[in-house]
Amino acid sequence: MAETAAGVGRFKANYAVERKIEPFYKGGKAQLDQTGQHLFCICGTRVNILEVASGVVLRSLEQEDQENITAFDLSPDDEVLVTASRALLLAQWAWREGSVTRLWKAIHTAPVATMAFDPTSTLLATGGCDGAVRVWDIVRHYGTHHFRGSPGVVHLVAFHPDPTRLLLFSSAADAAIRVWSLQDRSCLAVMTAHYSAVTSLTFSADGHTMLSSGRDKICVIWDLQSCQATKTVPVFESVEAAVLLPEEPVSQLGVKSSGLYFLTAGDQGTLRVWEAASGQCVYTQARPPGPGRELTHCTLARTAGLLLSATADHNLLLYEARSLRLQKQFAGYSEEVLDVRFLGPEDSHVIVASNSPCLKVFELQTSACQILHGHTDIVLALDVFRKGWLFASCAKDQSVRIWRMNKAGQVICVAQGSGHTHSVGTVCCSRLKESFLVTGSQDCTVKLWPLPKALLSKNTAPDNGPILLQAQTTQRCHDKDINSVAIAPNDKLLATGSQDRTAKLWALPQCQLLGVFSGHRRGLWCVQFSPMDQVLATASADGTIKLWALQDFSCLKTFEGHDASVLKVAFVSRGTQLLSSGSDGLVKLWTIKNNECVRTLDAHEDKVWGLHCSRLDDRALTGASDSRVILWKDVTEAEQAEEQARQEEQVVRQQELDNLLHEKRYLRALGLAISLDRPHTVLTVIQAIRRDPEACEKLEATMLRLRRDQKEALLRFCVTWNTNSRHCHEAQAVLGVLLRREAPEELLAYEGVRAALEALLPYTERHFQRLSRTLQAAAFLDFLWHNMKLPVLAATPTPWETHKEVLP
């Protein structure tokens, strides 16, 4: 095997998260500001604020109680945002800064289900699950009204557009619309015409007419002077929202006169325009195929001329209001991400297959999203052809589709094929040329689909719909579901992996069996050919990855490290390393030569089904059941360069420190040692200062000239030194200077001072006891010395003096 092909220096060591595509809308209310630049929507415990132009989440607002948000509303002047949570708290936000300006109890006995501002942005009405309607003065911060009498949940409140009339409308579980007078503090009228829940209330510009919509498949026009229904329009669908259009002709929408026209959004998944006078539908939007297209919300931003609608599968669609031309698409929630792929010759886009029949294509640079409709059941797998413009998808609807992206980034379906009798769970495109693709299914067969020549010509656009694909070869390959298929780099071999715990090798295009790879203890989730060597990698539910030789079908290596099923495997670093993803939510990087797991990447919280590497091998893409898509960047070279620069800087600083100590420039030396964040180096400087003949004065003078953050660091280091009897004297000297020369208030303001003192006290007491014992012993020795009575010894003559005496 050619492990050395890329060289040791080219091995990857780490990936870092470059970008995340995360859920930002999980259903419920969505609202535009008056300028149409910001979009507000609920996602669990947060209200997310999106920048419409880029699709980026600017702010994510969460209340202190961290409970789910049940309702929110933005004031008509775009200044105040109010949110309500399950903890029965209301929060008023300065949303541009992301700060709470006021938090108060809702007083409702059950969660707030709906809220609405009045036209002046000073009053807020809240409707609760307890059947109460309350009105709050946002400016003066007090509750002004409490209206009782609604049975069940109050799910809709709206103020009259004329603030002088002081009227509030609400609707509850009994499908009646109640009119409340703020002036009289009473219910003026109960308007009944609906037989099911009222879903929206909207008013004409003059304030004389109101339109209500309901799930009873009718819209009712009301005269607000008499509070009577003047017209009932059957719309033949359960309506979630109705919007009154501006009273001006719009030929594109069939609005030919200046009468009353309204737009409905409901369970048919299309926007329709109705003439109120005749009750006729004058415009119907084309409905895309597939489930999950029901519209759950619709709102009009009149100033910006934009219409926002939300679908049942949590997509947000932004239309130009006059023509209903689609301007922007946002994928709010992808549920379980099943597969991901880079798209485009330069990997400029990302395709995401989630628990939905729709595909989502994201442009990485601008975050623009395109939602692709075609499949009628959940899309299970994706693959991209060599040049990056064509890609294939397969789904539970037993079909395979081929899509093409043009240079403008627009994607259309150009071909489709069907023939499998069960879900198609895996697809692989030819590697050498854009000539064919292979699919594997739960019906235990693989099919080879040649690409028609008409599909390969660049300028062909399918005017009559997608071209039909015909399977050239069908082969029953396994006894259980086929989970993965892979085509060799030369397009001559096919590998299949199955739930029957085996992988098999086949010769293309006739699918003749060449051999079987046996050894895994559980089913296989992924098979992958090495780009450089005659090796096959398999990933299994037994938690292992195995490498097999294609010549003799023997197992070369086994990689163990995942705690659960390994779902995907991919070769990187020119075939010398592996990336794997598993059910444990981890992505692991392996070096083949030594079987070592180099790095474990932990950013997902659930099964990582999708894994794909970029053409330049510098980025990786993962998608998981936690609804996250993460783009990883290879940071090996950057980290190596950073480490080298750090080491070089350390050498330079160490030399500078030595020079400063030699020159006895203690202040600069101490400051430099602290900036290096190396306690031992700082200790060396303190010891050098204490060796000076004027140690006390020098240490005190040097420390008093330090900045506060440097003194804090010095106190932290003292804690470490004080644990060792050899270095405790330096720690006590520093501590003594701080205690003598710093005011107690300043010392207590130091960061972490309490923890430092708690750590210093026990060791200081121990050192004090040790020194006390030493002092006692020294005093005893001194006492003994002074009290010892030594006898006076006679002087003994020296040998020389004796010799002199005997001389004549």
Q: Which residue type does 360 have?
A: K
- Establish how many alpha carbons lie within 13 A of residue 371's alpha carbon, considering only the half-sphere containing its beta carbon: 25
Structure-block tokens of residue 781: 């020795």
Q: For 488-544, how does the pLDDT look when each residue is reduced to its tens digit (9 = 90+)?
A: 999 999 999 999 999 999 999 889 999 999 999 999 999 999 999 999 999 999 999
Q: What is the C-alpha separation between 135 and 120, in angstroms, rounded?
A: 14
Q: Map residue 733 onto helix, strand or coil.
A: helix
Structure-block tokens of residue 190: 């109960």
Q: Which single residue is written with the structure tokens 């009473």?
A: 186
The number of beta carbons lying within 10 Å of the beta carbon of residue 486 is: 23
Task: Give CA separation, 516 vs 494, 497, 552, in Å.
Answer: 12, 10, 10
Strands 271-275 and 156-159: unpaired
The number of beta carbons lying within 10 Å of the beta carbon of residue 705 is: 12
Task: Give CA separation, 116 vs 31, 69, 159, 188, 729, in Å.
Answer: 12, 15, 7, 19, 69
Q: For 612-630, how does the pLDDT look when each residue is reduced to its tens digit (9 = 90+)?
A: 999 999 999 999 999 999 9
DSSP bridge pairs for 359: 353, 372
Structure-block tokens of residue 672: 């430099």
Task: Give CA separation, 504 vs 487, 545, 569, 623, in Å.
Answer: 12, 16, 17, 27
Structure-block tokens of residue 51: 């920048």
Structure-block tokens of residue 502: 């085996």
Q: What is the C-alpha separation between 580 and 12, in angstroms, rounded?
A: 14
- Establish how many alpha carbons lie within 13 A of residue 303's alpha carbon, considering only the half-sphere containing its beta carbon: 9
Q: What is the C-alpha separation between 616 and 3, in angstroms, rounded?
A: 19
DSSP bridge pairs for 594: none
| Furthest-apart CA atoms within the chain: distance in Å | 163
Q: What is the C-alpha separation between 96 and 480, in angstroms, rounded?
A: 56
Would the CA dihedral through 447, 452, 455, 458 be positive or negative? Answer: positive
Strands 198-203 and 493-498: unpaired
Contact 543, 562 (CB under 8 A): yes
* 3-state per-residue secondary structure call for 150-183: CCCCCCEEEECCCHHHCEEEEECCCCCEEEEECC
The pLDDT, as a whole number, for residue 5 is 38
H or E element, residue 704: helix 695-704
Structure-block tokens of residue 373: 């409709």
Q: What is the C-alpha separation between 470 and 454, in angstroms, rounded?
A: 14
- What DSSP string runs through 471-519? -SEEEE--SS-EEEEEE-TTSSEEEEEETTSEEEEEETTTTEEEEEEE-
The number of beta carbons lying within 10 Å of the beta carbon of residue 230 is: 11
Angle at 128 between CA 125 and CA 134, to 5 degrees: 35
Contact 153, 70 (CB under 8 A): no
Contacts of 570 (CB under 8 A, 6+ apart): 528, 578, 579, 580, 611, 612, 613, 620
Q: What is the C-alpha separation between 693 and 714, in angstroms, rounded?
A: 23
- Spatial CA neighbour of 621 closest among 268, 332, 384: 384
Q: What is the C-alpha separation between 523 and 528, in angstroms, rounded?
A: 15
Question: What 8-state DSSP symbol labels residue 92?
Answer: E
The pLDDT, as a whole number, for residue 509 is 87
Beta strands in 276-348 (DSSP E): 280-284, 295-301, 306-311, 315-320, 325-331, 337-343
The number of beta carbons lying within 10 Å of the beta carbon of residue 602 is: 10
H or E element, residue 81: strand 81-85
Spacing of C-alpha 527 from chain mean position? 29
The pLDDT, as a whole number, for residue 778 is 86
Q: What is the C-alpha separation between 370 and 209, in angstroms, rounded?
A: 38
The pLDDT, as a whole number, for residue 558 is 95
Spacing of C-alpha 150 from chain mean position? 41
The pLDDT, as a whole number, for residue 716 is 82
Contact 229, 248 (CB under 8 A): no
Q: For 1-33, how does the pLDDT look when each residue is reduced to its tens digit (9 = 90+)?
A: 443 333 344 788 899 999 999 999 999 999 999
Contact 24, 50 (CB under 8 A): yes
Contacts of 616 (CB under 8 A, 6+ apart): 347
Q: For 697-745, how does the pLDDT look when each residue is reduced to its tens digit (9 = 90+)?
A: 777 777 777 888 887 888 888 888 888 878 788 878 888 888 887 888 8
The pLDDT, as a whole number, for residue 7 is 39
Residues of the chain with pLDDT under 70: 1-9, 249, 288-292, 457-464, 694-696, 789-808
- What DSSP string runs through 625-669? TTS-EEEEEE-HHHHHHHHHHHHHHHHHHHHHHHHHHHTT-HHHH
Q: Count of H helices and E strands in the chain?
A: 10, 57
Contact 416, 400 (CB under 8 A): yes
H or E element, residue 745: helix 744-748
Q: Is 491 left (phi over 0), alpha (psi -120 to 50) or beta?
A: left
Q: What is the C-alpha separation between 157 and 115, in angstroms, rounded?
A: 6
- Spatial CA neighbour of 314 closest among 297, 300, 299: 297
